[in-house]
Amino acid sequence: MRHPLSSERVTEAPRPRISVLRLGHRRERDKRITSHLGLTARAFGADEVILSGEEDPSAIETWNSVTERFGGDFECRYEAKPMSWLRRFSKGGTVIHLTMYGEPWREAVDDIPLDAPATVVVGGTKVPGELFKLADHNISIGNQPHSEVAALAVFLESWVGPLDESERFVGGEIEVVPSERAKRVRNHSGE
């Protein structure tokens, strides 16, 4: 599987914006998984997570706090009317819907261009049938039910490809230094 941003496709222009839209958030039932979904979006190359369903300031606070501490300019917001927003977005952007009913990602990922702003949509409660038609790509990560976090991580890793974290997550208070056996961090907060 070729990463779209591997050497033969690196372009000078910054790559188009990638958003992740979380449909149908339930404040009590989905608290942790939605929080992890936003952190996964950030860590695997998305520029923004859009929360919809029940409003949940704690999720927004978590995402902003991690961005403040670990750097980068990841954005997050609440959208009260996600399908209206997505219909407008789809007029110029690429809509990718992750669903266990979709095309196998290994076969499809190389055919999804990263040449326009894109929104990756994951569900929570019942996903509206309209989404399957509105999406440019309905993509499955296997055809078994599992989790939006797992699906998003696998898809973004295969579609966006490797990130240069030192370039992407700049300006944070904390920088993790990968280590074989210890927890090593660089603390920039005093700089």
Q: How far is the CB of 43 from ligand SAM (least distance, A)?
A: 18
Whole-angstrom distance, CA of residue 42 vs CA of residue 46: 5
x/- string (CB under 6 A) for ligand SAM, residues 47-86?
Answer: ----------------------------------------
DSSP symbol at 122: E
Residue 110, Cβ density class (10 Å: 0-12 exposed, 13-18 middle, ≥19 buried): middle
Does residue 113 interact with ligand SAM by CB under 6 A? no
Would you say 18 or 151 has its CB closer to ligand SAM? Answer: 151
131 binding ligand SAM? (CB under 6 A): no
Instruction: Select 77 or 146, whichever has its Cβ closest to ligand SAM.
Output: 146
CB 33 within 8 A of CB 150: no
Q: Which of 141, 153, 156, 160 binds ligand SAM (CB under 6 A)?
A: 141
* From 62-70, 80-88, 110-118, 137-145, span contacting ligand SAM (CB under 6 A): 137-145
- Site stretch for ligand SAM (CB under 6 A), options 46-54, 112-120, 142-150, 174-182: 142-150
Does 148 engage in binding with ligand SAM (CB under 6 A)?
yes
The residue from 14, 145, 178, 190 that contacts ligand SAM (CB under 6 A) is: 145
d(CA 106, CA 83): 27
Query: Taking the C-alpha atoms of 131, 152, 20 and 107 in order, what is their torsion angle to the nearest 10 degrees?
Result: -60
What is the spatial distance between Cα 38 and Cα 62, in angstroms, rounded to a whole number? 9
* CB-based burial label for 52 (10 Å; 0-12, 13-18, 19+): buried
Q: Interface with ligand SAM includes 35 (CB under 6 A)?
A: no
CA nearest 89: which of 64, 63, 52, 58? 52
User: Among all residues, whose Cβ is closest to ligand SAM?
Assistant: 123
Residues that bind ligand SAM (CB under 6 A): 98-100, 122-123, 125-127, 140-142, 144-148, 151
